């Protein structure tokens, strides 16, 4: 039994077809069939039931598939770490982030480029808590800036700064004339909120609950950009991180601070504790930490 055989086996199961798997693996179907027969001979057990119209896993095959997926994933991680050992001052950083960091992350990149001008930087949005954990553990990102507090043994979570969620509304909304606005004042207003699974949604709903206020949730969104588009049309109000609103000159939008401890949130830097990263990638992580010291 070797890794190539396991890779072939997983491909067949994932594609539910010998022919599709062979095409994906760029080998002939007879060669793929022979490889699986050889694997079964090595194991002394049948792992695929070929007597049905669809390929089915046997009991032994079910166990092997679960183990093989984990083993292949771990080998992929090892390969990536070995690549990073080799790429000392060149290569790619994969950084996950939330929307509101866009006002300061370019400043960090500018500083970093002075030390590592040959590094490529890939920025992707990673928003929900589960996405943060999966992205780090699957080696899709080296580090993630998030408003999710991740409490896991294998993940380092470092607080960077706090920011407020502020009310955003259209200039025509009567609330713009209020000297101060409370959550109670928002009753009946069509409210725009983040979708299920996002920490911002939990923070907002917690703030309303603390003051025994029930918001009129009219729209659910995944990106603050969408929320602002709706507010610009005057069809709803929303609570948005204050840092996201920087460098957004828009006369149609009015912001109001609301005094509520639940409308403060912390932004964190997260990364795997025991993953090897090259000095170049470690340097970028340190640049982020030092930016807020």
Mean pLDDT of 150-174: 94
Mean pLDDT is lowest, of 5-9, 83-87, 236-240, for 83-87
Q: What is the pLDDT of residue 93?
A: 93
Q: Which CATH code is given to the segment(s) 163-264?
A: 3.40.190.10
Which of the four pLDDT bands, split at 50, 70 and 90, describes residue 48?
A: confident
Q: Residue 12, exposed/middle/buried by CB under 10 A (0-12, 13-18, 19+)?
A: buried
Are 88-160+266-291 and 163-264 the same fold in CATH? yes
Q: Which helix (H) or strand (E) holds 120?
A: strand 119-125
Mean pLDDT is lowest, of 67-71, 126-130, 278-282, for 126-130
Residue 87 has pLDDT above 70, yes or no: no
Mean pLDDT of 261-281: 89
Mean pLDDT, the chain, rounded, equals: 88
Q: What is the pLDDT of residue 229?
A: 93
Buried b (16+ CB within 10 A) or exposed e, 20-52: ebbeebeeeeeebbebbeebbeeeeeebbeeee
Mean pLDDT of 238-247: 86
Please state, in angstroms and rounded to a whole number, the distance separating the CA atoms of residues 165 and 265: 8
* Residue 274: count of CB within 10 angstroms of its CB: 7
Q: Is 103 helix (H, G, I), strand (E, B) or coil?
A: helix
Please state, in angstroms and rounded to a whole number, the distance separating the CA atoms of residues 125 and 233: 26
Residue 99 has pLDDT above 90, yes or no: no
Q: What is the pLDDT of residue 19?
A: 85
Residue 169 has pLDDT above 70, yes or no: yes
Per DSSP, what are the bridge partners of residue 269?
A: 145, 158
Residue 261 has pLDDT above 90, yes or no: no
Is this prediction's pTM over 0.75?
Answer: no
Per-residue CA distances from 189 to 175, 183, 252, 259 (Å)? 10, 11, 18, 18
Query: DSSP string of 254-276?
Result: EEE----GGGEEEEEEEEESS--
Mean pLDDT of 34-55: 82
Mean pLDDT of 60-78: 87
Mean pLDDT of 208-234: 93
Q: Which CATH code is given to the segment(s) 3-85?
A: 1.10.10.10
207, 183 Cβ separation under 8 angstroms = yes
For the chain, which residues make up each domain, given as ranges? 3-85, 88-160+266-291, 163-264
Mean pLDDT of 236-243: 92
Which of the four pLDDT bands, split at 50, 70 and 90, describes residue 187?
A: very high
Mean pLDDT of 208-221: 93
Residue 271 has pLDDT above 80, yes or no: yes
In CATH terms, the superfamily for domain 88-160+266-291 is Periplasmic binding protein-like II (3.40.190.10)
Per DSSP, what are the bridge partners of residue 97?
A: 125
Q: What is the pLDDT of residue 247?
A: 61
């Amino acid at each position: 039994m070797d890794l190539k055989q396991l890779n072939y086996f997983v491909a067949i199961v994932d594609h539910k077809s010998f022919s599709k798997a062979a095409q994906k693996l760029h080998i002939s179907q007879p060669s793929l069939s022979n490889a699986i027969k050889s694997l079964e001979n090595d194991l002394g057990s049948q792992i695929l039931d070929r007597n049905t119209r669809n390929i089915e896993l046997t009991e032994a095959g079910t166990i092997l598939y679960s183990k093989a997926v984990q083993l292949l994933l771990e080998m992929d991680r090892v390969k990536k770490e070995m690549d990073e050992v080799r790429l000392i001052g060149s290569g790619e950083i994969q950084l996950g982030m939330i929307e509101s960091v866009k006002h300061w992350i370019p400043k960090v990149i500018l500083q970093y480029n002075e030390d590592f001008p040959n590094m490529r930087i890939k920025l992707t949005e990673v928003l929900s808590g589960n996405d943060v954990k999966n992205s780090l553990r699957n080696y899709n990102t080296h580090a993630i800036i998030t408003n999710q507090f991740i409490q896991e043994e294998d993940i380092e979570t470092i607080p960077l700064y706090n920011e407020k969620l502020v009310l955003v509304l259209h200039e025509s909304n009567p609330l713009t004339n209020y000297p101060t606005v409370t959550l109670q004042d928002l009753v009946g207003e069509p409210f725009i909120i983040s979708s299920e699974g996002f920490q911002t949604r939990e923070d907002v709903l917690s703030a309303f609950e603390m003051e025994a206020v029930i918001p009129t949730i009219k729209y659910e969104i995944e990106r603050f950009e969408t929320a602002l588009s709706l507010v610009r049309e005057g069809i709803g109000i929303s609570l948005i991180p204050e840092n996201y609103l920087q460098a957004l000159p828009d006369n149609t939008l009015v912001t109001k601070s609301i005094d509520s401890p639940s409308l403060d949130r912390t932004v964190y830097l997260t990364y795997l504790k025991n993953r090897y990263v090259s000095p170049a990638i470690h340097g970028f992580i340190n640049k982020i930490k030092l930016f807020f010291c």
